[in-house]
Amino acid sequence: MTVTTSPAAAAGAVLRARRNRAGWVFAGALAVLVVICCASLLLGVRDLDPATVWQALTAPVADNVDHMVVLQQRVPRTLIGLAAGVALGVAGVVIQGVTRNPIADPGLLGINSGASLAVVLAIQLLGVTSAVGYVWFAFAGAALAAAVVFSFGHAQPVQLALVGAALVALISPLITLVLLRDQATFNSYRFWVVGALTGRDLRSLALMLPFLLVGLALAAVLAHRLNALALGDDVARGLGQDVGVTRALAAAAIVLLCGTAVSLAGPIALVGLVVPHAARRLVGADHHLTTALAVLLGPIMLLLADVIGRLVVSNDELEAGVVAAFLGAPVLVAVARGRRVVGL
């Protein structure tokens, strides 16, 4: 006796299988993130045991050096790594979705360069030298750069990339000119530009948290619009979507998310490139799923880079931005060479 399966039943089975797979992926990513957060609290130049960390979190002793290390250094850098990683991961999904460019990230659109120029000018002209002081200038520079790119790029994928590259080419010599003429500015700027989670505190996070939340809300709203846009502008319009509104919302989300990330951690490279590819590889091209998974994968990559940076150099640390670049560089090379890293 032959049992036939209707197309609707077969499609339902495939959908259930995909949902089950996505559920396992999200559960696994959450477990990995929890482990990395624990490692971020435990490991470093001064390794601590779990009991000490737990006591520092629940019943801290004022004059205990280990407790001060946990509360004043590792808790802030872990929370900032979580926030900046989420912002970078989700921003990467939005940027690659709206530009339909598999190698798009905040650096490609000139957002990091805009933030860097603003910080350089703040240091030289206003004498700003603290990480908290850089926050608003970095955010404003990132926002201005994104506004310029989307205004002159006319929201077209190729033009956005070209305008972003032109903006980077324009800003980079200006930054170099200022730094070569002012050694004091260079000394302050070089610690920020490498990208790191150290030297930041929870005041910076409190300032940027509202922008992060609004950016995430916009990214969630954009998910179904980006799914339609991935089929092409004409198809999206045929489905009743206003493509201009979609790109305007995407620009706002990118400004808020990238501005938050750069303000908190400096211009971290390649996290916004790698995370969308990893998310699509794990759960497919649906922006609802990739955006949600990027919320987990972004901080996983950034905190992993931070933890590795603490361990690879004896009695010292390698900045998270440097390690993240090493982790992301092979993906960038593979995508640029046209290898099938993921399917867009």
Phi, psi of 274 (to 5 degrees): -75, -40
Is residue 133 one of the residues assigned to a domain? Answer: no
Per-residue confidence at 14, pLDDT binned at 50, 70, 90? low
> Does residue 62 or residue 214 have the better pLDDT?
214
User: Between helices 287-311 and 7-42, what is the axis angle to 10°?
Assistant: 20
Q: What is the DSSP letter of 194?
A: T
Is residue 309 one of the residues assigned to a domain? Answer: yes
Cα 107 from Cα 164, distance rounded (Å): 8
Is residue 315 one of the residues assigned to a domain? Answer: yes
State residue 292's pLDDT score.
Answer: 95
Domain of residue 65, CATH code:
1.10.3470.10
Give the pTM. Answer: 0.87
State residue 327's pLDDT score.
Answer: 84
Is residue 330 one of the residues assigned to a domain? Answer: yes
Is residue 136 one of the residues assigned to a domain? Answer: no
Cα 269 from Cα 266, distance rounded (Å): 9
The residues near 282 (Cβ < 8 Å, ≥ 6 apart) are 25, 293
Count: domains in the chain:
1
Statement: residue 344 has pLDDT above 60: no
State residue 1's pLDDT score.
Answer: 47
Is residue 8 one of the residues assigned to a domain? Answer: no
Domain with 227, as residue range(s), is 16-100+195-336
- Spatial contact of 319 and 308, defined as CB atoms under 8 Å apart: no
- Spatial contact of 92 and 272, defined as CB atoms under 8 Å apart: yes
Q: 308: part of which helix (H) or strand (E)? A: helix 287-311
Q: What are the contacts of 34-37 at 24+ separation with CB within 8 A?
A: 36/299, 36/300, 36/303, 36/304, 36/307, 37/78, 37/82, 37/303
User: In whole angstroms, how far apart are CA 146 and each of 257, 308, 343?
Assistant: 11, 31, 27
Statement: residue 323 has pLDDT above 80: yes
Is residue 71 one of the residues assigned to a domain? Answer: yes
Cα 81 from Cα 68, distance rounded (Å): 19
What is the per-residue pLDDT across 243-276, written as a single tens digit (0 to 9) for each? 888 888 888 898 899 888 888 888 888 898 899 9
Amino acid at 78: T
What is the per-residue pLDDT across 58-67, written as a single tens digit (0 to 9) for each? 888 888 888 8
Is residue 139 one of the residues assigned to a domain? Answer: no
Statement: residue 35 has pLDDT above 90: yes
